[in-house]
Amino acid sequence: MSTHHINASDVPKAIVSLCALIAIVAAIACISVSGGNQSEGDLDEYFLRDVATVEAMGLPVYWLGTEFTVDGLVFRGPYVAEFGDEVEGGGIHMSYLLDGGNSSLALTVYSMNAWSLAKERVENPKIPGEPRPITRRTVSVGTREAELLSLPLATREVNQLWLILNMEDAVAVAVAGSGGPVYPGGPDYNPFINNPDLLIQVMEDLRPYPE
């Protein structure tokens, strides 16, 4: 089995460029999604490929199941890019897509070794353009503490939300990107941007694969 790796220096760039990733994953989803709940045999083949790679390394895989509902909206997945999205040092990147919409939640699970390579860049992301402060908040996800980052851009008060959760044997980073306002000054297409606490609630269901 061939394995393609992303350099640690590329990980935050890939996360910041979430819109481009969504476009790639959405194209895969058009082929992969058959509707309804997915069984093991229906899971995205590229996700299964990368899970096998990570598990062969003796590393943990966490996920959010095949779908979850937030604020009445259903997200399905997980999906992985065809060209491979394993993380240097051991880990996996996956996406959940809003059913019938244009929003997503990206989830990267780092082994502790991979996290030691990516920690500084992920916890202190560089925002392009005129620098604006990143809002940081310590939150509770179940019985664990996590860090919630709100990343602004010049045109948006919140452009992305990052939730960093240490699972002790791995670190999970969930990223929700703005989909733009439904109408000028109105709520965002992405429910997590409208209410960051929803991201915390969803991540409370993070669990070992394949539970």
CA atoms within 13 A on the CB side of 119: 11
Mean pLDDT of all residues in the chain?
A: 82
Provide the residue count of the chain: 211
**What's the rounded Cα separation, in Å, for the pair 176 and 187?**
15
Going by pLDDT thresholds of 50, 70 and 90, the confidence category of residue 143 is: very high
| Structure confidence at residue 102 (pLDDT) | 86
**What's the rounded Cα separation, in Å, for the pair 125 and 58?**
29
Does residue 180 or residue 56 have the better pLDDT? Answer: 56
**What's the rounded Cα separation, in Å, for the pair 109 and 165?**
10
| Structure confidence at residue 128 (pLDDT) | 72
**What's the rounded Cα separation, in Å, for the pair 73 and 101?**
9
4, 51, 57, 95, 164 from 176: Cα distances, Å? 24, 22, 28, 10, 12
Domain ranges of the chain: 5-208
Q: Is the pLDDT confidence value at 206 over 60?
A: yes
- 21 phi, psi to nearest 5 deg: -65, -40
Give burial (CB, 10 Å; 0-12/13-18/19+) of 197.
Answer: exposed
| Structure confidence at residue 84 (pLDDT) | 66
Chain segment 41-66, per-residue pLDDT in tens? 689 999 999 999 999 999 999 999 99
Chain segment 113-128, per-residue pLDDT in tens? 999 999 999 999 887 7
Question: CB under 8 Å to 195, separation ≥6 — which residues?
Answer: 71
Beta bridge partners of 34: none
**CA nearest to 138, candidates 150, 147, 129, 130:** 147
Going by pLDDT thresholds of 50, 70 and 90, the confidence category of residue 169 is: very high
Q: Is the pLDDT confidence value at 6 over 80?
A: no
What is the mean predicted confidence (pLDDT) over 129-140? 86
Most confidently predicted of 29-38, 72-81, 152-161: 72-81
Question: CB under 8 Å to 129, separation ≥6 — which residues?
Answer: 153, 154
| Structure confidence at residue 210 (pLDDT) | 96
